Amino acid sequence: MRNTDAIAAVDDEQVMQLLRLFNEDVGRDYLRKQGVSDEEIAGLSAAGISGICNLISAIWAARYYDMDGRDVIFFPLTDSMDLYGSRFVEMAEQHGPYTTDMAARHYGRYLEAAIPSSFRELTYFDRKSLHNFKYFTWVEQQGRTSEELRALWEEDFWKAVFDSAQLAEWDQLINEFNEGTGLLKDL
Q: What angle do CA 83, 84, 86 make, to 5 degrees?
A: 130
> Could you read off the pLDDT of 14-59 as tens digits, one per residue?
999 999 999 999 999 999 999 999 999 999 988 889 999 999 999 9
pTM score, whole prediction: 0.76
CA distances from 7 to 27, 31, 145 (A): 29, 28, 26
| Distance, CA of 187 to CA of 183 (rounded, Å) | 7
CB contact at 8 A, 30 and 21 = yes
For residue 45, report the phi and psi dihedrals to the nearest 5 degrees. Answer: -70, -10
Question: Is the per-residue pLDDT at 183 higher than 70?
Answer: no
| CB atoms near residue 186 (< 10 Å) | 6
CA distances from 124 to 18, 121, 146 (A): 33, 10, 20
| Distance, CA of 104 to CA of 99 (rounded, Å) | 9
> What mean pLDDT do residues 80-106 have?
89
